[in-house]
Amino acid sequence: MKNLTLKFLFVFLFIPILSSAQIKVNYKVFYHNKLEDEGLKITLSYNLKKASDSTYFHYSNDVWGQKNIMNCLKIIEKDNPNLKFKIVSDSNRIVVYHPKTKKISFTYRILQDAKETSSASNRPRVKNNFFHILGQSLFVVPEDAYHLKIQPANIEANIEWTDFPNDFKIHNTFGTNQKKQIIKAKLDEEFYHSLFVGGDYRIYDFKYQEKPVYLAIRGKWFNDYQDEKILETLKKTIPTQRNFWKDNAFDYYTVIMTPSNSEIDTLFKGQSMTGSGVKNGFLIQSSNNKFNNYDVIRYVFNHEMMHDWIGGKIKMKNEELNYWFSEGFTDYYTFKNRLQSGDLTLKDWLRDFNKEVLQLHWKNPKKNEPNYVIKDDFWKSRNVEKIPYRRGAIFAFWLDNQILKKSNYKKSLDDVMREILKICVEQNKLFSDDFFLEIVQKYLEKDIKELTYFFQKHIINGVDFDLKNEDLIPEFQIEYVEKIPKINMEEKSLNKYILK
């Protein structure tokens, strides 16, 4: 009797919850040898719960700082006889009017609307020989997903890549070379936080402790950007980062590297490389000219891979307002882990940290802007964008030193990072300022009020750090050159900073 009751409860309580937590959508993506003109044609099919004669679909008009992405979406009549459409860009909405039915299917196309440039483009790129489109800008989803009882919504996307010739590679952050993909993922933070590419990509793979890693790269690169060398750098970065976190739980992982416009005679003298972390990997877009500098790749690989944890497994509660941590601490550990792995010598590390972090921060005219400004102006002002990276890295450096001092070199900020990871993963907890301060307080044995005051003053309000020798372990010396702090350390002291 008891068993029966339990079964009864299970069936009637759990099934409705499961079914309302996920939507299922089928996508058929078609190849065309004139993709640039025709666009990537996609037929979406979706079953409604109740028969209706109009259905709302979602397509994001603003993506990663890019406006009017709706311009890249084209719906043409010959693909959709018997259907009518209304696009409401401001609401990220496509209304489809159809004969009363439960089964709806329509076809749209994604085209490139922008000219090729030498800097990264987060807009869809669709050429005859390749495409490069963020998941969010490739897949229209039913608006139902955002009205499910349980949020964030899950999606099951069945994708069929149709008529693609074998030499036109299909690769994305969910799989490689699969003509049929079933992706079950959280809609916003996974399915939409992804990249889909195809075309003349060269795909390499290797395993790190049984876990597969892929590199997809296209284009003919200048200088020493050879596939082999880039693959070697990736092979070296993976163990550095995964050993630091003591975490190798990645069933699929890929780096996708694409040149923005390749220029032989260029007006642009320099390199512009952008890395962006997505679900199961990261993408790199870079200018490609004779100014290609290999050191930039090493930096970006380490920075982006750090986001597998910071921002990836450790999820932020308040996105931009937490950038001081998700970008600043990421950058700090980009530098520290490269020093630890030998990718940077101490001399190089000092040079880079002094220049890229301390000097550039002190010279940034926006350096004293309060933290909330970052939320509004991150994509608008390059100087504002840079604040959280450097302010956060300086805070991390200060904290690291404080913990080393307090623990007599037994513990460092590294331990704090791993503890944060553990709690966030095990307890499904989001990172917040308060949570961070609570953990740090244990390591510093500091009064939480005093720590909160320090944090408020420098991170939230933007008052300059007043770095002094007595804040740091004695192995670091600090001097002020034209009122800008500069740190120094002798080679023999390195093992006091990098604990084995």
* Site for Zn ion, rule CB under 5 A: 327
Pick the closer one to Zn ion by CB: 308 or 327: 327
Minimum separation from the CB atom of position 307 to Zn ion (A): 6
- Grouping H, G, I as helix, E, B as strand and the rest as coil, residue 352 is helix
Q: What is the CB neighbour count within 10 angstroms for residue 275?
A: 22
Minimum separation from the CB atom of position 371 to Zn ion (A): 17
Minimum separation from the CB atom of position 330 to Zn ion (A): 5
Look-up of token digits 């307090």: 406
Minimum separation from the CB atom of position 459 to Zn ion (A): 17
Residue type at 175 in one-letter notation:
G
Minimum separation from the CB atom of position 331 to Zn ion (A): 7
Minimum separation from the CB atom of position 277 to Zn ion (A): 7
Minimum separation from the CB atom of position 195 to Zn ion (A): 16
To the nearest 10 degrees (0 to 180), the angle between helices 448-455 and 433-444 is 130
Pick the closer one to Zn ion by CB: 285 or 401: 285
- Cis, bond preceding 16 (omega within 30 deg of 0): no
Closest C-alpha to 278, from 377, 134, 171: 134
DSSP string, 321-381: GGHHHHTHHHHHHHHHHHHHHTSS-HHHHHHHIIIIIIIHHHH-TTTT--THHHHHHTTT-
Minimum separation from the CB atom of position 443 to Zn ion (A): 25
Pick the closer one to Zn ion by CB: 108 or 389: 389
Minimum separation from the CB atom of position 339 to Zn ion (A): 18
To the nearest 10 degrees (0 to 180), the angle between helices 227-245 and 294-306 is 30
Q: Measure Cα distances from 78 to 33, 44, 56, 57, 112 in Å.
A: 19, 15, 21, 20, 20
Look-up of token digits 């921002």: 311
Q: What is the CB neighbour count within 10 angstroms for residue 99?
A: 9
Pick the closer one to Zn ion by CB: 320 or 327: 327
Q: Measure Cα distances from 241 to 63, 233, 332, 335, 387 in Å.
A: 29, 12, 13, 12, 24
Distance (Å, rounded) from C-alpha 34 to C-alpha 336?
47
Pick the closer one to Zn ion by CB: 187 or 278: 278
Burial of 481 (0-12, 13-18, 19+ CB in 10 A): exposed
Pick the closer one to Zn ion by CB: 83 or 424: 424
Pick the closer one to Zn ion by CB: 169 or 242: 242
Pick the closer one to Zn ion by CB: 144 or 327: 327
Pick the closer one to Zn ion by CB: 190 or 327: 327
Q: In the numeric block, which tokens belong to residue 343?
A: 């990718």
Torsion-angle region of residue 18: left (phi > 0), alpha (psi -120 to 50) or beta? alpha
Q: Do residues 283 and 318 lie in contact, with contact meaning Cβ atoms separated by under 8 Å?
A: no
Pick the closer one to Zn ion by CB: 46 or 378: 378
Torsion-angle region of residue 112: left (phi > 0), alpha (psi -120 to 50) or beta? beta
* Residue of minimal Cβ distance to Zn ion: 327
Minimum separation from the CB atom of position 48 to Zn ion (A): 40
Closest C-alpha to 58, from 130, 155, 129, 149: 155
Q: In the numeric block, which tokens belong to residue 481?
A: 């050159």
In this structure, what DSSP letter does residue 56 have?
E
Distance (Å, rounded) from C-alpha 316 to C-alpha 388?
14
Q: Measure Cα distances from 350 to 75, 478, 486 in Å.
A: 55, 11, 9
Query: What are the beta bridge partners of residue 202?
Result: 217
Pick the closer one to Zn ion by CB: 115 or 380: 380
Minimum separation from the CB atom of position 323 to Zn ion (A): 9
Minimum separation from the CB atom of position 327 to Zn ion (A): 5
Pick the closer one to Zn ion by CB: 327 or 414: 327
Q: In the numeric block, which tokens belong to residue 248?
A: 């190798």
